[in-house]
A and B are shown apart, each in its own frame.
Chain A
Amino acid sequence: MSTTTNTKQRANVFATIWGWIRQVPPVYFIFFVVVIGVSQLNPNFATTNGILAFIRRVAPLTIMAMGQLMVIASGGFDLSQGSVVTLSIIGSLLIIYNNDENTALAIFVVLGLGILIGVINGFVVAYLKVPSLIATLGMLLLVQGGGLYWTGGGPKGYFTDNYRFIGRGYIENVPVIGKFPVSGIILIVITLILYILFHRTNLGKQILAIGDNQRAAKLSGVKVRMIRITAFIISAITAVIAGIMIGGYGGVSIEAGEGMEMQSVSATVIGGALLLGGKGSIPDVFFGALTLEAMFMLLNLLGLPKPYRDAVQGLIIIGAVAYAALSSRKRE
């Protein structure tokens, strides 16, 4: 008698634990597996220095991916992000003009440009009803051409040390770990801001409502157009910030942002966001970006050439969407 209740209880305990495990989004398991793989192949990865270097490297993509989530959760795409990264680098270079007193001005101007691009993207999608993929791909051409026109094809000059500090600098004399990357601090601050915006304010709820059912959201009083424009603005701002970091970290290049828009979309998808809207979470996308970057490191350690990353991203995107579509069909 007592033994049967015992096994029953034990079965119940396992069931509840299994229930908890099932509630954890898959991204955390994938992250865990990939990180173990990387640290097996590269023993330097699991050291303090390795982790700090990883944070510095992954910060721009993570920030962009959380911005992309705002647009994706509202049911759209922002494929102009990559070109905004490049514009942010080119713009700051030309405004700084090798004079470190101009750094603050440069950052303000490129942020302003980013906001402008976000407003235009949002306006074209929300008011002119152009599908966001077409609108932002057109914007990609426009921004890329604009940036190249501004520099005359090949940007010249170098970044001043105070500008580079944002992307590659370290805060020294931190207790326990010794030092901490500046970009890591910015990453934490922006993650907190976006977490509060998305999970603790009406803005986030309205974005999700629009992504879930635009008509229903409109009828229940959401200012659909304004919210959609806001989402595009946030996405563009995160791309500008990522650009400032990448410029400081990697230096001047007119190809710096190329393909980053697809990386940020892939990171959001790995983080469990539903393409075409309605579902998403900042912490999950945060780890989605970490996972994607770690996956790239893994592919690199396995000796695959860089362009194959694109193919992997394509597989991830199709796979995730197909998985979501098939599992929702099962529920019906």
Chain B
Amino acid sequence: MSTETLTGTGEKRKRENIFARIPQVYYFLVVVTVTGIVLDQVFANGNILSNPSIFRNILIRSVALGIVAVGQTFVMIGASIDLSVAYTISLTAVLTSLIMQGDPARVPMAILVVLVVGAFIGLINGLIITKLNVNSFIATLGTGLIIEGLLSGSFSNWSGAVPESFRSLGYNAIGPIPISIILLSIVVLAGWFILSRTKFGAHLYGVGGDHQIARLSGLRTDRVLIGAHVICSITAVLSALFIVSRLGSGAPWVGPDGVYDLESVATTVIGGTALSGGRGGVFGTLAGVLIFGVIDTVFNQLGVDTFLKMVLRGAIIILAVASYSVRSKREAA
């Protein structure tokens, strides 16, 4: 008798799980997309529906933000944050094109160097936060300032160039699928795998959920957090590689101009990762990134003024974060 009821509820739970496992944010994505299409049909030329390349462009535009947002998801699950990603992107973008100098033979070396630089930045961020006990907001704001200062002190313009072969990363496709989208998919899947199928991922959720309990249960919390920061900085490097392949060269302003710091945080929050850590995942973040991509595309279709778009961007970021934070019981810092 009792076993029957148990299995019954078990089956029921399984059936519910299929829907419960889709992050809520995907419903929001559908709503935003439909609204965008309607607006486009009524007020613009309706190209979103009739021109399939626009959908592909939404995806490509989401690649740079999407990759770094995956990294941001890692640190935010660990109840930390990385506000230095925009400047990490700038630094590694400039370094990439500077080292490559348009020579295909130097591509592997450039990629290796910037990955090491990225890992080093993540390591420093993690060490400052865990060993010096500095709040993550302040620590990464500080390292961001340091990177930015050193970078714009040394470079004031486009520097170096990437070879034509490297630009295929940004522009070419394998069959119908652009390489950049394959890159984004790999990063998202790798992020999902690490978070939900490895010990490190489980530990990260533990550290983010309750630092004290995680430490008392014998986790090396510092190492886990430092690991998350290294991963985050490496995703920033991958974003930079994609951005350089699109632009052909790196400049000190490519990161801050894309607002990658704030937007990666905002998309992660929209995707359902709690600001206080311990909850969330990369698929939710991906939906958040796509929402931003759709909104951007709709604005372009409607011909919204560049500066007005900045205003709307700021408002959307604040409102998006507010729609999640307003329900939290904790007061904001």
Contact = CB atoms under 8 A, between A and B. Distances in A.
A146 B306 CA distance: 10
A153 B311 CA distance: 14
B150 interface: yes
The secondary-structure label for the interface of chain B is: helix
A131 B276 CA distance: 11
A276 B148 contact: no
Contacts of A137: 261-262
Nearest to A125: B332
Interface string B139-151: 1011111111111
B333 interface: yes
Interface stretch (B203-211, B221-229, B279-287, B321-329): B321-329
Interface string B255-283: 00001011001100000000100000000
A132 B332 contact: yes
A310 B145 CA distance: 5
Interface in A276-332: 276, 304-315, 317-318, 321-322, 325-326, 329
B311 A314 contact: no
Given A76-B333, A129-B325, A141-B259, A329 B133 contact: yes
Interface string A113-152: 0000000000011111111111101111111111011000
Contacts of A322: 128, 132-134
Contacts of B331: 129, 214-215, 224
A321 B310 contact: no
B262 A326 contact: no
A133 B137 contact: yes
A307 B135 contact: no
Given A131-B137, A149-B305, A311-B145, A140 B330 contact: no
Interface stretch (B24-32, B165-173, B312-320): B312-320
A128 B305 CA distance: 28
A214 B278 CA distance: 23
B108 interface: no
Contacts of A140: 314
B153 interface: yes
A321 B138 contact: yes
B215 interface: no
Contacts of A204: none
A121 B235 CA distance: 31
Contacts of B139: 318, 321
A309 B152 CA distance: 10
Given A128-B325, A128-B326, A141 B153 contact: no
B318 A149 contact: no
B142 A146 contact: no
A75 interface: yes
Contact of B318 (A75, A130, A224): A130
B308 interface: yes
A275 interface: yes
Contacts of A215: 331
A310 B148 contact: yes
A306 B154 CA distance: 10
B333 A132 contact: yes
A134 B308 CA distance: 20
Nearest to B305: A149
Contacts of B307: 145-146, 148-149, 153
B18 to A, nearest CB: 33
A149 B322 contact: no
B146 A310 contact: yes
A72 B118 CA distance: 31
A146 B311 contact: yes
Given A131-B275, A134-B265, A145 B332 contact: no
Nearest to A148: B307
A317 B145 contact: yes
Nearest to B325: A129
Most buried by A among B142, B314, B330: B142
Nearest to B322: A128
Most buried by B among A134, A276, A305: A134
A63 to B, nearest CB: 22
Contacts of A311: 145-150, 153
Contacts of A128: 322, 325-326
A129 B276 CA distance: 12
B149 A312 contact: yes
Given A132-B333, A307-B152, A322-B132, A317 B314 contact: no
Contacts of A75: 333
Nearest to A136: B318
A95 B272 CA distance: 44
Contact of A141 (B144, B262, B333): B262
Interface in B151-167: 151-153
A309 B265 CA distance: 27
Interface in A72-128: 75-77, 124-128
Interface string B291-317: 000000000000001011111111101
B314 to A, nearest CB: 3
Nearest to B269: A134
B322 A130 contact: yes
B83 interface: yes
A130 B137 CA distance: 14
16 contacts: A124-B322, A129-B322, A129-B328, A130-B325, A133-B333, A134-B318, A138-B321, A146-B307, A307-B149, A307-B150, A309-B149, A317-B145, A318-B128, A318-B142, A326-B132, A326-B133
Interface of B: 83, 128, 132-135, 137-139, 141-153, 259, 261-262, 265-266, 275, 305, 307-315, 317-318, 321-322, 325-326, 328, 330-333
Closest A-B pairs by Cβ, 5 of them: A145-B310, A311-B149, A142-B314, A310-B149, A314-B145
Interface of A: 75-77, 124-135, 137-146, 148-149, 153, 214-215, 224, 262, 275-276, 304-315, 317-318, 321-322, 325-326, 329
